[in-house]
Amino acid sequence: MQEIIQPVDRELIKKELTKEAFVRYTNNGNNEVYLVNYHTSPNIMREIGRLRELSFRSAGGGTGQALDIDENDISEHNYDQLIAWNPDDEEIIAGYRVIKCDNAVSEDGEVHLSTAHYFDFSEDFVKNYLPQTLELGRSWVQPKYQPAIDNRKGIFSLDNLWDGLGAVVLLNPDVKYLFGKVTMYPQYNEEARDLLIYFMNHYFPDKDKLVTPSPDLFLGYKTDVSKFEGIFDGLDYKEGYKVLNTRVRELGENVPPLINTYMNLSPTMRVFGTARNNEFGEVEETGIMITLDDIYPAKKERHMSTFERDRHFGERPVKAR
């Protein structure tokens, strides 16, 4: 396990937070969202690598390296980095890496996506979904801005990122799907983990087998799930979620925030099974896909309706702090 690098000089970071990289001001917290990449913003990328490793290592994952930067960040088919920036603290709060999937397919048809390391794609998915899909990955919130550590600072961290994602979607009207994976860590209670996966398989099945975990990495249930049989039968999503939340809490856990966010975005989300990521602290990755047209109107209103108002660099809207 290597020691994590020291913070990158703030002046170097601020020089790369340019008008061209600016996406929008956030709805809450008076923060800013930028879209950068390794080639245009190497210092920001280095700080992202530091913060990702810090965040994931503190949760029980991480690469074990001095910073978390891989081929998906720096290659020819590199991902962009969507970040939320706090200008008062001069801190990157949180980030995603994103890529339009049609930009990740080489001339010979090879798919250069992070998810391709863990999941097998059907011909239907590659032909009919991938060209209209935005892949999301490596979602993180740095420890100082996690609600469990500092609720005042962290209450809007993920929300700020979703303001940015809403903007990216609006700027790419050809995108119809969001695709990615959610992470669970080895120390998460096994019965709670199985119940959560059972719940997602019940309410968000992939009946068409568009995407499946690679056979050598596939992870099934770890406990006897016969005790869960029928507990969600006849219940709509909200009623089933109440049962899930209660049972998970009884087992000493909470539904992970990002999984919670995705499940409450759309009634037609698809879940693609779970794979082991043995390069990242043996964490577990569950594949998911969201159809943008099916996102609940309230979520679209929250993260998209203010984009035109908030997209102008240097013209921060006046909001109550």
Is 10-310 assigned to CATH 3.30.1360.120? no
Per-residue pLDDT at 318: 66
Say how far apart CA 116 and CA 121 lie, in whole Å: 8
Q: Which residue has the higher pLDDT, 41 or 107?
A: 41
- Whether residue 148 is predicted with pLDDT greater than 80 in this model: the reply is no
Question: pLDDT digits over 9-19, tens only?
Answer: 999 999 999 99
Q: Where are the domains of the chain?
A: 10-310
Antiparallel, parallel or unpaired: β 270-277 and 133-141: unpaired
Antiparallel, parallel or unpaired: β 80-86 and 119-121: unpaired
Per-residue pLDDT at 226: 95
Question: pLDDT digits over 160-180, tens only?
Answer: 999 999 999 999 999 999 999
321 pLDDT band, cuts 50/70/90, is: very low
130-155: average pLDDT: 86
Using CA atoms, how far residue 21 sits from 35, 78, 295, in Å, is 5, 16, 27
Task: Tell me the two tokens of residue 84.
Answer: 């939320």
Task: Tell me the two tokens of residue 45.
Answer: 């990328």
CB within 8 Å of 239: residues ≥ 6 apart: none
- Whether residue 75 is predicted with pLDDT greater than 80 in this model: the reply is yes
- Whether residue 101 is predicted with pLDDT greater than 60 in this model: the reply is yes
113 pLDDT band, cuts 50/70/90, is: very high
Element (H, E) at 170: helix 157-171
Per-residue pLDDT at 310: 93
34 forms beta bridges with: 22, 83
Per-residue pLDDT at 320: 45
- Cβ 306 vs Cβ 12: under 8 Å: no
Q: What's the mean per-residue pLDDT of the chain? A: 92
Question: pLDDT digits over 47-64, tens only?
Answer: 999 999 999 888 888 888
Question: pLDDT digits over 264-276, tens only?
Answer: 999 999 999 999 9
Q: Which residue has the higher pLDDT, 133 or 105?
A: 133
DSSP result, 86-110 = ETTTTEEEEEEEEEEGGGGB-TT--
Per-residue pLDDT at 295: 95
Per-residue pLDDT at 77: 87
- Whether residue 255 is predicted with pLDDT greater than 80 in this model: the reply is yes
Q: Is the pTM of this model over 0.75?
A: yes
